Structure 1
Amino acid sequence: MQKRGWNTLGLVAVTTVVGTLADHLLSSDIPILNSQTKVSWHPGFDLSVVRFSMNLQFAINWGTLVGLVIGLLLARRAK
């Protein structure tokens, strides 16, 4: 990935996290923000000698989606 790609990825990651945090802070005041979807993935293997397991979980809410869109718009405008 080129430098511009890393900048876009970083900007989108930051705005997504900020959107998620804003959603958590505002969810007590705005009831529609209480909805959340969780996506889980549990890759792993066991070879009797080596065992590997990992648990990845993504929680997506309205703030996450708004942050993602804002990050993509900002990155597009910065080009």
Structure 2
Amino acid sequence: MDKLQLLFTTTHWPASWPIRASTWSAWSHVALVDGNQVIEPVMGHGVRRVPVCSAIRRASCHALVSLPARH
């Protein structure tokens, strides 16, 4: 793995605003990109895998960030 990809998102859902306000962030959610899927936490349900396109479609705003990763 040469890089690590993260998908930052925000939504219009009621829980999004308090998360952004308490973390002083434009984003309320972050997911780890694994190929064409993301691994993301879901409040009250644990962790799940969903297609990247589904995660982006749910978001009102998103940013895909690539970070260098060491072997």
| TM-score greater than 0.5 by the shorter chain | no
Shorter-chain TM-score bucket reads under 0.3
Q: Name the larger-Rg structure.
A: 1
- Of Structure 1 and Structure 2, the greater helix share is in 1
TM-score normalised by L of structure 2? 0.25
